Amino acid sequence: MNDLTQLILKRLVFGALTLLFVSLLIFFAVELLPGDIAQAILGQTATPETLAALREQLGLNTPALVRYFMWLGGALHGDFGTSLASGTPVSEAIGPRLINTLSLAAYAAVIAVPVAISLGIVVALLRNTMFDRIANILTLTSISSPEFFLGYILIFFLSIKIRAFPALSNLTPGMSFGEYLDRGFLPALTLVLVVIAHMMRMTRAAIINLLALPYIEMAKIKGMPAWKVIVHHALPNAWAPIISVVALNLAYLITGVVLVEVVFVYPGIGQLLVDAVAKRDFPVVQACCLIFAATFIGLNLAADVGAILTNPRLRFQK
């Protein structure tokens, strides 16, 4: 086994241990809630018989550590238990919502990633110009604005004033791909405005840092055009930080959609999580949180592995 394989396996083991620790936090955060969970679900008017029946149904009479391993074992097989609100398996409630969230994240990523990298290259070419200053001001404004604020601004201008797109993302079974693009445009655009700034600024910074290196100066002295210097010499060596920030922002597109989905009433897993919290549907809350954590950790691992593969210097321990 070579050093590269060992390094990647080590990162995967660390990721698995991190996810295990997070699953402990998710499960026992519910256990540490004050009061009786069964009482909180049924209310103060519940009879002792119904409380006892619900405790038996939830397995609350079993030690917490045993219930944790049962829950974790079921989660590894896609079984997150039964929803307390609907009585259906949690996986059935989460499945369609997760697909909707992944579709929205993919919609936003297809727009944000190429635009952000292209803008980063352009502002690196035109650094210290008026275009560079305007781009930095706009990206800082985008980064500083909360998602729900951007969402309401887009609804006001693009839905109420111009009437170009629907304010609510009502997805229906059997809808065409064109209808989905139309109804999902505003939430996707909100996510694009949030993440594009990070990726553009990182691309710009990575390329500018490389432009001062000797081999770049030599390419310029030979008379190579500025765009060719960046595309053929600077960009290949800047992929490691760019891949990292792209992967982290892709993780945000999936795990940070809660506010965006609530604003646009988008039927994704973020909206499901908010509804489950309101209904005290703890199995659904735990499942949503675990999926968010697994997605974020998985994409962080992908960023680490991508950086290692694109930058040979990261393969050696200092």
pLDDT digits 0-9 by tens, 179-202:
899 989 999 999 998 888 888 888
Task: Check residue 311 and give its pLDDT.
Answer: 67
Indicate the domain borders of the chain.
96-304
pLDDT at 3 over 80: no
pLDDT digits 0-9 by tens, 58-98:
777 778 788 888 888 888 888 888 887 777 888 888 989 99
Structural contact between residues 24 and 68, judged by C-beta atoms closer than 8 angstroms: yes
Q: How confident is the model at residue 148 (pLDDT cuts 50, 70, 90)?
A: confident
Residue 201, φ and ψ in degrees, nearest 5: -70, -35
Residue 68 C-beta-side C-alpha neighbours within 13 Å:
15
Q: Could you tell me the sign of the dihedral formed by the alpha carbons of 270, 272, 278, 284, in that order?
A: negative
Q: Tell which wins on pLDDT, 82 or 293.
A: 293
228 vs 116: CA distance, rounded Å: 19
Tell me, yes or no, if the pTM score tops 0.75.
yes
Task: Check residue 235 and give its pLDDT.
Answer: 74
Neighbour count for residue 230 (Cβ, 10 Å): 23
132 vs 119: CA distance, rounded Å: 10
pLDDT at 6 over 70: yes
82: helix, strand or coil? strand
pLDDT at 232 over 80: no
Radius of gyration, alpha carbons of the chain: 24
Domain 96-304 has CATH 1.10.3720.10: yes
CB-based contacts of 58: which residues, under 8 Å, 6+ apart? Answer: 37, 38
pLDDT at 315 over 70: no
Q: How confident is the model at residue 40 (pLDDT cuts 50, 70, 90)?
A: low
Max avg pLDDT among 17-26, 169-178, 247-256: 17-26
